[in-house]
Amino acid sequence: MLKTKIAVLVSGGGTNLQALIDSGVLKSGEIVLVVSNNENAYALKRAEKAGIKTAVVVKKGVPQEEFEESLIKVLEENGIEMVILAGFMCILTGDFTRRYPNRIINVHPSLIPSFCGKGFYGLRVHEAALSYGVKVTGATVHYVNEIPDGGKIIMQKAVEVHDGDTPEILQRRVMEQAEWIILPQAAEKVAESISKSR
């Protein structure tokens, strides 16, 4: 069976990208491109080390429509069939998401519908969870539509909050115990269904 051609969109450190590369779980898809809005993202180095093609699409100072058109152009040039948002800190509108219905997935570091939507990203999510005082948090992988963090949920995994947690400690636990596990699993599920539907 032909593997689903995947692009991973990143903005920062890229530990979720690394999990996708290393886990061995993603068998029905191949990461053929890593795209970042940030040319200094360490995730780009991880991609290069793994021999994966990279591209930078600048967002800063660029109108949303133009940014999304540039993204679509690079995805189309590379024959991309599925998109994984792995720490991609840019909002995408319906103009973009409608191009890939049920073919874009995102990992979010909380149990959606808690601590999600506009303004909830990265460490801020864990800061909010700690200040609310939740005792259980986790991660969610979901389809991406025009509503930020609003698409149908594919997988979730719960993680305990411990007394004395800082946002950084909690972020690391959520990554280790949830994100790095469920992102490859959910990616495989979606990649498999795309390759079977061909």
Active centre residues (catalytic):
108
Contact set for ligand GAR, span 57-86 (CB under 6 A): 86
Q: Are strands 53-56 and 82-85 parallel, antiparallel or unpaired?
A: unpaired
Distances (CA, A) of 122 to 23, 25, 26, 90, 197: 22, 24, 24, 12, 34
Task: Determine if 37 is a binding residue for ligand GAR (CB under 6 A).
Answer: no
Length of the chain: 198
The closest residue (CB) to ligand GAR is 87
> Which range in 25-33, 66-74, 107-115, 128-136 contacts ligand GAR by CB under 6 A?
107-115
Q: Are 74 and 35 in contact (CB under 8 A)?
A: yes
Nearer to ligand GAR by Cβ, of 85 and 191: the residue is 85
To which H or E segment does residue 6 belong?
Answer: strand 4-10
Q: Which listed residue (5, 59, 103, 108) binds ligand GAR by CB under 6 A?
A: 108
Residues 6+ apart with CB under 8 A from 158: 111, 136, 137, 138, 178
Q: Are 120 and 110 in contact (CB under 8 A)?
A: yes
Task: Determine if 13 is a binding residue for ligand GAR (CB under 6 A).
Answer: yes
Task: Determine if 107 is a binding residue for ligand GAR (CB under 6 A).
Answer: yes
Q: Which listed residue (122, 134, 167, 169) binds ligand GAR by CB under 6 A?
A: 122
Q: Which listed residue (26, 125, 187, 194) binds ligand GAR by CB under 6 A?
A: 125
CB 112: neighbour CB atoms within 10 A?
20
Nearer to ligand GAR by Cβ, of 5 and 126: the residue is 126
Q: Which residues bind ligand GAR (CB under 6 A)?
A: 10, 12-16, 43, 86-87, 107-109, 121-122, 125, 175, 179
